[in-house]
Structure 1
Amino acid sequence: MSIQEKSRALMARQYQQVKNRQQSMLMRSAQELGLPEEVSHYWNPIQGKIDQTTRTIYGSSHAAMS
């Protein structure tokens, strides 16, 4: 696997992880508020790019859980 393929796979994996975290948090919030489950399916990146604020909030951190 070339460096380009590895970097593309890494970016795709990070994108999917951010999306999954955001939708998971939205689902939990919707359940707590009694809203329909469809609310958690919201995903609206602009031109396929994740907003920096969203990436910061839902992206992985370097802190480990113990």
Structure 2
Amino acid sequence: MRAVNRKIACRQCGKQAILDPSNPWRPFCSERCKTLDLGEWFGERYTIPAESQDDFNDAADLPPPGLPRHQ
């Protein structure tokens, strides 16, 4: 029995892309779409939601004295 390659919509252009290790650009359909998506991240047009810095002003969020703080 042959395995069926699962197809999904390319995250950049919407064309069909094979979701399989044989597709080096998965989940994209081509190198171009993968590069365009990377450019969106570099251009800061995509963001990951994060807590605001105001949420970290509480002393409970600080490391114990003597430990380095991450900058």
- TM (norm. structure 1) is 0.27
Highest CA radius of gyration, 1 or 2? 2
Query: Whose helix fraction is larger, Structure 1's or Structure 2's?
Result: 1
TM-score of the superposition, structure 2-length normalised? 0.26
Higher strand share: 2
Of structures 1 and 2, the one with the larger relative CO (CA 8 A, separation 6+) is: 1
